[in-house]
Structure 1
């Protein structure tokens, strides 16, 4: 019965023509030996069905497929810790559909949305820090509300707090907070690492990401650094839940992206 149910879910998943939302980052590593009719491909499809069904209940799930070493596939999905179960479910479904469209012939693929991250590979990456390839998004507008030195100090203090929260017991890798830059301007920050990491690896990933945005996004009105193992972001408007009702959500403005390589 369990096998039959999995088959039905797989068929429904593959034939759905629903249009997925836009992703923030996709990475498809080439695999010259991969074909859509291979055992690996079938294991990926089965693995994605499991991630879609199991992730929303806890916001995080890891799974490995059955099969021999050359066919085995490992997968992980995680939703941002501040969103609802419904939003998590919707995001993971979008991610699972989109990753197979964007990476049709790759057995090592990952995709990131605002609300979730999904990854699979023939290599067992679960529990291992990955801050190699990544992406930086930053607002092209410069900070004008205060001088650069003051902004740097306020931002550093904010991220000291959110990083400490994220690596504390029971945080599930999530840290978020806000601080007043001026009496009229609030700065919002959020970090999250994948929940398969140790506290030490989580802290190390954050250190790498924050160092990158303090350099690449210096003096910018918003930035996010994206890695497979962690996510770091600050903005001049509310972007995490519960939304700050005392502040009107401002436009994100124009952004620019920079690809990070290991």
Structure 2
């Protein structure tokens, strides 16, 4: 399934339907910062069995997130995993999030996946703090170390002590990673890493080892860096550098095009509302 990655600017998401959830639930916007979305090119039909199962999946995610920080789903695959309506999905929150914050983040993610990937047969959406993914085919428990997104700070370091501390943190994040979430610090360098809950302990360790290797190779001497793979992510930063100096490395043209379209549509919608208000004011 071909997938395209999107990186939607926050000012466009501000005008989206997710705006309601951001302020309705009173949770700080920064905690739900949009990081990336990946969408399949294949589209499902409205009023299809897949759409019905998709809506059930999202509803189940929102409901479950008020009780647990991870859950996986398989819906409509009783007869065959290849059936038209089959859908597989999961959600997960960062390992240190309170359950109430997790629930708010997942509700936000569920709202945004409609905007980022309308009618897509498969999609993944990463926010700062939580992740939502669904597919038409079964992906649960299957190791995927492909790079979905990375960002490296514009600031870098040539200090030998920094590299020693950073490597200590990255190495420590791989030890005991079977529990899925790991936090580490050494001096002024901190970091954490996490695997998706559908991975075995062995696959989690393999995924994080790959993520750590990519942090070093893709971001070099960056003072702060993130890398998100298909089923895990790793992050480190030196005190004072994260996250304000982080910059995205993505230049996905399809994502930019869709973002522009969304922005234009949102702007037109706001203009229509304003004109309607002015017209009523003049008539009164």
- TM bucket, shorter chain: 0.7 to 0.9
**Higher mean C-alpha displacement, 105-114 vs 49-58:** 49-58
Instruction: Check conservation: 1:99, 1:111, Cα contact below 8 A.
Output: yes
Query: Hey, what does 1:202 align to over in structure 2?
Result: 204
Query: Hey, what does 1:42 align to over in structure 2?
Result: 52
TM-score, normalization by structure 2: 0.73
Query: Hey, what does 1:27 align to over in structure 2?
Result: 38
**Higher mean C-alpha displacement, 55-64 vs 221-230:** 55-64
Is the partner of 1:24 in helix, strand or coil?
strand
Count how many residue pairs are aligned between Structure 1 and Structure 2.
223
Is the partner of 2:67 in helix, strand or coil?
helix
Match for residue 252 of structure 1 among 244, 251, 260: 244
User: Given the alignment of the two structures, is residue 115 of structure 1 paired with residue 132 of structure 2, yes or no?
Assistant: no
Ranges of 4+ aligned residues in structure 1 off by more than 6 Å: none
1:17 and 1:226, CA in 2 relative to 1: closer, same or farther beyond 3 A? closer
What CA deviation, in whole Å up to 9, does each residue of 1:161-214 have, x standing for no partner? 1211322xxx3x00001111xxxxx11110000011011111111121111110
Structure 1: tracts of 5 or more residues without a match: 1-14, 181-185, 238-247
TM-score, normalization by structure 1: 0.78
Instruction: Check conservation: 2:74, 2:89, Cα contact below 8 A.
Output: yes
In structure 2, C-alpha distance between the alignment counterparts of 1:155 and 1:133, rounded to whole Å = 21
Compute the displacement of 1:17 (Å).
6.8
Q: CA RMSD of the aligned region, Å?
A: 2.3
Larger radius of gyration: 2
Compute the displacement of 1:42 (Å).
1.6
User: Given the alignment of the two structures, is residue 176 of structure 1 paired with residue 186 of structure 2, yes or no?
Assistant: no
Structure 2: tracts of 5 or more residues without a match: 1-16, 23-31, 253-284
